[in-house]
Chain A
Amino acid sequence: MPKNPSFWRRITARRETLTRYLSLVTTVLLMVVFGLIRSSFLGPRNIVNILKDLSPVMVMACGEAFVLLLGSIDLSIGAIASCSAVLLTVLLPVMGPWAYAVVLGYGVLTGLLNGFLHTRLGVPSFIATLSTQAIWQSCAYLISGGQPLTMLPPVWPYVNWGKIIFLEAVPLLFLVALAVLVAYAFINRLTAVGRVVTATGANERAAWLMGCNVRRSKMLAFLCSGLGAAIGGILFAIKLKSGIPTVGTQYTMLAIAAAVLGGVSMTGGKGAIALTLLGAMLITVIQNGMNVIGVNGLWQQIIFGSLLLAAIYLNSDKSHKGLIVK
């Protein structure tokens, strides 16, 4: 490093920090703006709404962040979430609370399948997960018959915990999502196999030469992603009291965007899972705020796509000049 790095160099060096605070500052700014336009935006009822909307995105995003840390990608989370929501709705009347266990097991299984295809068969992650996405989406349609399923009153006792709200502002759903986030962050930061995930993303060959079990951490990352998607699907189902076969579709992109906005680099090895909270928050605030102040919903997709592009650009690593990106 030269003694007087140029202005541009300093900016690029702090790009990561920049995105992190960018999403935080933008979130706060947007909340103020939306609050000024419509004061009900900051009311306790809407705060509960925001936190409820935030929960599934956050859980899916922190699973996705695990895979992004590897430098891989998981495009199947949306379909897994949809399929989980449908599965839960179908199984709750049959097996009661055990349905939750089955759906969580399903999530683990989907993650392991992705991990197997990627690590054992050597299929690039985006193509492997694009394919499993098609498979799970088909399953969601097949199980539900293509129609949204609603939960009938007999199973409400099993899902009514989603209505519990603490202190009039903090729904239990959000606390569950937060617990998952903390657990994932703990696995990533404080367990050996979790740290190898980040190391693998930074330099796979070096990690392998150091004697790290690269393959096992890759499996762990995909497992976490699948499980996170399944939990996300459960939260969707509880929130809506129904299983919609397309409920998760648009959340694949939103979860990736949330992770990247939280500072996870697409090339892997950089970022913290806990910060996906910030990215997810920004996305939910925009989504909710646009609904509250009455912006046409058609603009949302455009805004989120642009936001994703900006976030990848800010977070991409430009320090290697000869880097070949495919």
Chain B
Amino acid sequence: MDQQARSSRIGLEFAQEMKRQSQRERFVSWAPLAVLALLVLLFSLTAEGFFSLKNLQNVLNQVSIPLVMSMGMTFVILMGSTDLSAEGLGGFVGSVTALMVLNSKTTLDMGFLAVVIAMVASVLVSALSGLMHIKGKLPSFMVSYAVSNIMAGFAVLAYRGEPALIRDPFFTVLAQGDFLGIPYLTFIALGVFGVSYVLQTRTRFGSYVMAIGDNEAIARNIGINIDRTKLKVFLWLGVCIGLVGFMGAVRIGRGEVAIGSNVVFPAITAVVVGGTSLSGGKGGVVHSLLGAFIVTVINNALVLLGVSPYVQQAVQGIIIIVAVALSIQHGKSLIVK
């Protein structure tokens, strides 16, 4: 066989292999949607009251906070980092927002300005923990874990053990009202999703994040400013955490540190279940949207099925392990830490 024929055959095989791989990837990226459909079908049959307009409203209401949180988390995880700071920081934002609007504890009545101040604080803290990770070269989840604890301390210190109740009518309406049957908070969450989608698909920043997650060394060599991109990711995360804290506070009507206590884990679950790889560079915000719905639907159905709320966390834990274990490519001599 002459040289040319052989090389063309190799080329053909390569093209076929690539095609097969891209097909497989396309199939895998549709998997979350199939899972969601399957879950809805399953729960409609087993859980009484699951398949109803009222419960759809419930799900849309419940999805808002995990959705916003996972939008911030998606970019961090796409980059290959992890952030746990929302637990304390979200609680802190919620606590101080409640203290600054019309409330039962202080005489302040700053209205919307309070939200802005709390959001700025959240962005600053997130940027600070980002800088410690980027400039100090410390592992991101460790820094954010410590920051989370510090901010949780400040949150409790801010209201000194007794949470402030929100008395501002504007925020009460915001929490309970709906438009066309869809709660206002869900519109906020969908707005955040829209912004994230544009950020990821239509801006240079989005491509840079993907590139860094895929291979940081190559991204650096082609001249991407890694540090600046990473910092931007943490700024965006700060915005999302701020919104989560604010939404949590208006939802329960008071500002306490517990607002942040159950937001990180569902968000990581949502991102990972959606198909974004923890090592970075794969997935995206649309995946996380599906993931957020999967997590919410499961939690919602567990409640309807009368399962103890304590089990929800365990179920999420098992889901994360299964999703991560399935998404990791075996056979690669990858060092996992």
> Is B103 among interface residues, defined by CB-CB distance under 8 A?
no
Complex Cα–Cα for A23 and B201 (A): 48
Contact residues in B for A266 (Cβ distance below 8 Å): 138-139, 142
B213 closest partner in A (C-beta): A326
Mark B145-173 against chain A: 1 for CB-CB distance below 8 A, else 0. Answer: 11111101110110011000000000000
Q: Which of B81, B148, B150 contacts A306 (CB 8 A)?
A: B150
The answer to whether B136 touches A316, judged by C-beta atoms less than 8 angstroms apart, is yes
Q: Provided the pairs A70-B337, A71-B337, A72-B337 are in contact, do residues A312 and B268 lie with their beta carbons within 8 angstroms?
A: no
The answer to whether A127 touches B324, judged by C-beta atoms less than 8 angstroms apart, is yes
The answer to whether A146 touches B310, judged by C-beta atoms less than 8 angstroms apart, is yes
The answer to whether B321 touches A117, judged by C-beta atoms less than 8 angstroms apart, is yes
Contact residues in B for A146 (Cβ distance below 8 Å): 310
Q: Of A10-18, A46-54, A132-140, which binds chain B?
A: A132-140
The answer to whether B317 touches A131, judged by C-beta atoms less than 8 angstroms apart, is yes
The answer to whether A301 touches B149, judged by C-beta atoms less than 8 angstroms apart, is yes
- Which interface class (under 10, 10 to 19, 20 to 34, 35 or more) fits A? 35 or more
Distance from A235 Cβ to chain B, minimum over Cβ atoms (Å) = 23
> Is A197 among interface residues, defined by CB-CB distance under 8 A?
no
Mark A123-149 against chain B: 1 for CB-CB distance below 8 A, else 0. Answer: 111111011111101110110001000
The answer to whether B265 touches A130, judged by C-beta atoms less than 8 angstroms apart, is yes
Q: Which of A134, A316, A325 contacts B317 (CB 8 A)?
A: A134
B321 closest partner in A (C-beta): A131
Complex Cα–Cα for A71 and B142 (A): 12
> Is B56 among interface residues, defined by CB-CB distance under 8 A?
no
B137 closest partner in A (C-beta): A325
> Is A308 among interface residues, defined by CB-CB distance under 8 A?
yes
> Is B216 among interface residues, defined by CB-CB distance under 8 A?
yes
> Is B133 among interface residues, defined by CB-CB distance under 8 A?
yes
Most buried by B among A72, A130, A323: A130
Q: Which of A123, A142, A300 contacts B153 (CB 8 A)?
A: A300
Contact residues in A for B272 (Cβ distance below 8 Å): 127
Mark A109-129 against chain B: 1 for CB-CB distance below 8 A, else 0. Answer: 000000001100111111110
Interface residues of B in 310-337 (CB under 8 A from A): 310-314, 316-318, 320-321, 324-325, 328, 330, 334-337
> Is B224 among interface residues, defined by CB-CB distance under 8 A?
no
Complex Cα–Cα for A159 and B95 (A): 42
A139 closest partner in B (C-beta): B314
Q: Which of A73, A135, A305 contacts B314 (CB 8 A)?
A: A135
The answer to whether B146 touches A308, judged by C-beta atoms less than 8 angstroms apart, is yes
> Is A204 among interface residues, defined by CB-CB distance under 8 A?
yes
The answer to whether B265 touches A123, judged by C-beta atoms less than 8 angstroms apart, is no
A317 closest partner in B (C-beta): B137
Interface residues of A in 299-323 (CB under 8 A from B): 299-306, 308-309, 312-313, 316, 318, 322-323
Interface residues of B in 278-337 (CB under 8 A from A): 278-280, 308, 310-314, 316-318, 320-321, 324-325, 328, 330, 334-337
Interface residues of B in 98-124 (CB under 8 A from A): none
> Is B132 among interface residues, defined by CB-CB distance under 8 A?
yes
Q: Which of B81, B149, B316, B328 contacts A121 (CB 8 A)?
A: B328
> Is B274 among interface residues, defined by CB-CB distance under 8 A?
no
> Is B140 among interface residues, defined by CB-CB distance under 8 A?
yes
Q: Provided the pairs A325-B133, A325-B139 are in contact, do residues A124 and B278 lie with their beta carbons within 8 angstroms?
A: yes
Contact residues in A for B140 (Cβ distance below 8 Å): 325-326
The answer to whether B314 touches A298, judged by C-beta atoms less than 8 angstroms apart, is no
The answer to whether A125 touches B268, judged by C-beta atoms less than 8 angstroms apart, is no
> Is A253 among interface residues, defined by CB-CB distance under 8 A?
yes
Contact residues in A for B145 (Cβ distance below 8 Å): 253, 308
A260 closest partner in B (C-beta): B142
Contact residues in A for B153 (Cβ distance below 8 Å): 298-303, 305
Q: Provided the pairs A253-B149, A304-B149 are in contact, do residues A313 and B138 lie with their beta carbons within 8 angstroms?
A: yes
> Is A268 among interface residues, defined by CB-CB distance under 8 A?
yes
The answer to whether A313 touches B136, judged by C-beta atoms less than 8 angstroms apart, is yes
A318 closest partner in B (C-beta): B137
B79 closest partner in A (C-beta): A326
Contact residues in A for B142 (Cβ distance below 8 Å): 73, 256, 266, 312
Mark B28-42 against chain A: 1 for CB-CB distance below 8 A, else 0. Answer: 000000000000000
> Is B15 among interface residues, defined by CB-CB distance under 8 A?
no
Distance from A323 Cβ to chain B, minimum over Cβ atoms (Å) = 6
The answer to whether B139 touches A138, judged by C-beta atoms less than 8 angstroms apart, is no
The answer to whether A131 touches B320, judged by C-beta atoms less than 8 angstroms apart, is yes
Distance from A220 Cβ to chain B, minimum over Cβ atoms (Å) = 16
**Can you spell out 27 A-B residue pairs with CB atoms less than 8 angstroms apart?**
A72-B337, A122-B325, A123-B325, A123-B328, A127-B272, A128-B324, A138-B310, A138-B314, A138-B317, A139-B314, A146-B310, A253-B146, A266-B138, A266-B139, A296-B157, A298-B156, A299-B153, A301-B156, A302-B153, A305-B146, A305-B149, A305-B153, A308-B146, A309-B143, A309-B147, A312-B146, A326-B81
State the 3 A-B residue pairs at the shortest beta-carbon distance, nearest first: A301-B153, A134-B317, A305-B150
Known contacts A313-B132, A326-B80; can you find 13 more A-B pairs with CB under 8 A? A122-B328, A132-B321, A135-B318, A142-B308, A204-B335, A298-B153, A298-B160, A306-B146, A309-B132, A309-B150, A313-B138, A324-B216, A326-B139
Taking beta carbons and an 8 Å cutoff, which residues of B are in contact with A? 79-82, 132-133, 136-143, 145-150, 152-154, 156-157, 160-161, 216-217, 265, 268, 272, 278-280, 308, 310-314, 316-318, 320-321, 324-325, 328, 330, 334-337
